[in-house]
Structure 1
């Protein structure tokens, strides 16, 4: 199995942080990765489904997958 790229590792480490102000994470995404938050979240969604990401930090990947599942369930409930 190939190792994670430096950007993949950086993204996973970034997800361990917490933000206390609205919009702070989006601003940090743009400043840190030079991409829009939308692009970042698309890349992150693909990354957390890989075996490499799970091997790197299984607890973080499980947390992110669970958070994604919760959002998808809640969004599916809206009329």
Structure 2
């Protein structure tokens, strides 16, 4: 199984300790990781399905996948109502 590169490891570590406030989190993403919040969330969404990320951060990746799946179900339910 391939290992996480340094940036991906930093990104997951950041997510584990990130501020709860959206504004503070977005500012910290820019300052600490040097990327836009959009790019951060795109990369995070890919990482949570990566076996290496699941092996290194099992609780975090499981929680994030659960949140993503719940949001997708909510979107599907909203489409069915329309």
**TM-score, normalised by the number of residues in structure 1:** 0.86
Alignment size in residue pairs: 79
Long gaps (5+) in structure 2:
none
Distance 1:21-1:48 versus aligned 2 partners, 3 A rule:
closer
CA RMSD in angstroms comes to: 1.6
Counterpart residue number, 2:48: 48
Bigger helix fraction:
2
**TM-score, normalised by the number of residues in structure 2:** 0.83
Give me the whole-angstrom Cα distance separating, in 2, the residues matched to 1:13 and 1:32: 11
Deviation at 1:71, TM superposition (A): 2.0
Structure showing greater radius of gyration is 2
Long gaps (5+) in structure 1:
none
